[in-house]
Amino acid sequence: MAEKDEKLQSLDELAAEADAMADQDGTEEGQAPAGAPDPDAEAGFDFTQAGSESGSEVQALRAELEEMKDRFVRTLAEAENTRKRAERDRREAETYGGSKLARDLLPVYDNMQRALGAIAEEQREANKSLVEGIELTMRELVNVFSRHGMTKITPEVGARFDPQQHEAMFEAPVPNTKQGDIIQVMADGFMLHDRLLRPAQVGVSSTPAA
């Protein structure tokens, strides 16, 4: 029994010595002893540097994303502008595409009008069917002009000269008129929708103001 007590006392003393040594080394359960090498450092891991590099990559990706967004918005704007230009060109082609043909037909109208004006009243009865044919053709030509958006500009004698719609072919002093008055209409003008196709050709008074 005494021998057993001595063995227990020896074990208690050994345990106390072990605790004292642990306190001196400053070690605790789950921690590496003081001065022990860091396995992460030995493996070459630097978490501070790794975090900095990751932040730089995120900023670079964000900048690239913003640049791609800007390019996308610019591309959309250019596509929309191209679509609008194409639509405008299409409308103008539909509205004014026949302007060259219309100008080429105007001399036909002028000649027919001159022919009707040159026929004297007594000749109209003798050539009634011919005159009626010319008049019918003239009306049909005017109807064709109207269907395609052409309207006549027919100034009256005595009206004021308008450079936006009239073209002065000559000037002459005429009594009882003022400078800029229309004294003769030589040819009708025409509008194609809202554009001037041909100005009316007129003679203008040059009589100075009193």
CATH of residue 123: 2.30.22.10
Q: Report the pLDDT averaged over residues 132-137.
A: 90
Amino acid 166: pLDDT: 96
Which tokens is 122 given? 């007594």
Question: Is there a domain that residue 165 lies in?
Answer: yes
86-101 b/e with 16+ CB inside 10 Å = b? eeeeeeeeeebeebee
Q: Distance (Å, rounded) from C-alpha 192 to C-alpha 153?
A: 11
- Please count the structural domains in the chain: 1
The closest of 140, 121, 141 to 131, measured between CA atoms, is 121
Q: Say which residue, 29 or 180, is predicted with more confidence.
A: 180
Beta-sheet strand order (sheet of 182-187): 166-172, 200-205, 182-187
Distance CA 12, CA 16 (A): 6
Residue bearing the bigger pLDDT, 45 or 102? 102
Sign of CA dihedral 178, 179, 182, 183: positive
pLDDT of residue 30: 45
Kindly indicate the confidence band of residue 119, based on its pLDDT and cuts at 50, 70 and 90: confident
Answer yes or no: are the C-beta atoms of 206 and 186 closer than 8 Å: no
8 Å CB contact between 197 and 99: yes
Residue 172 forms part of a structural domain: yes
Convert the pLDDT of each residue in 158-174 to its tens digit. Answer: 999 999 999 999 999 99
> Does a structural domain hold residue 171?
yes
Residue 159: give the domain boundaries. 99-205
126 by DSSP, 3-state: which? helix
Q: Region 133-155: what's the mean pLDDT?
A: 92
Record the tokens describing residue 123, joined without a space: 């000749």
CA distance 171 to 175: 13
Residue 65 resides in a domain: no
CA angle 109, 114, 139 (to 5 degrees): 45
Higher pLDDT, 82 or 20: 82
Distance, CA of 99 to CA of 105 (rounded, Å): 10
Whether 1 is covered by a domain: the verdict is: no
Q: What gap in Å lies between CA 41 and CA 49, rounded to an integer? A: 13
Looking at every residue in the chain, the average pLDDT score rounds to 81
pLDDT confidence tier of residue 181, bands split at 50, 70 and 90 = very high
- Which residue has better confidence, 143 or 95? 143
Residue 187 lies in a domain: yes
* pLDDT tens digits, 17-61: 656 655 555 444 445 455 555 555 555 545 555 556 677 888 888
Q: How confident is the model at residue 122 (pLDDT cuts 50, 70, 90)?
A: confident
Residue 94 lies in a domain: no
Stronger pLDDT, 179 or 2, i.e. the higher one = 179
Give the pLDDT of residue 56: 84
**Chain centre distance of CA 26:** 78
Tell whether 196 is covered by a domain.
yes
Please tell me the predicted confidence (pLDDT) of residue 85.
93
When pLDDT is cut at 50, 70 and 90, the band that residue 191 belongs to is very high
β-bridge mates for residue 93, sequence order: none
Distance separating the N- and C-terminal Cα atoms of the chain:
159
Instruction: Say if pTM beats, i.e. exceeds, 0.75.
Output: no
Tell which wins on pLDDT, 101 or 23. 101
